[in-house]
Structure 1
């Protein structure tokens, strides 16, 4: 697959800044960035529940934040073609 230098640079910069490649197709790459939650909130949950629940609420909170607080972005191979395709799909 032939890719332009700007396309490769953009994907490489995103990956180096912590984004993970979720899906790669011929014309685009979908990147995702996930987090496990705020360390301060984890600490409060641990202090309040560690004795009775042995850390299970902390794991549930981390899983909840991992799946619900993910960010996605799409990097298109050729932005001019992507803009034309998006505008035609919005009309019909």
Structure 2
């Protein structure tokens, strides 16, 4: 795999990760009283906050969650990746 292809895939993975977590934060789980129950923070890619680029084709993605209720845990996650922000927003996950 050439450097340009790896670079594009790395940028796409970072973009997908950030967009996915931004959507999770914006669409917080709501309790019956409509107050936020879950928030996502501390987003990192390969132990770096907001990297401009990475050369790792399988980066480590991490985040932390916080809840206003006791016993709330993350049970699953979904990472969606695309070669452009437009494709990601359209649901065309091509990576």
TM-score clears 0.5 = no
Query: Normalising to structure 2: TM-score of the pair?
Result: 0.28
Identify the structure with the greater helix proportion.
1
Please tell me whether Structure 1 or Structure 2 has the larger radius of gyration of its CA atoms.
Answer: 1
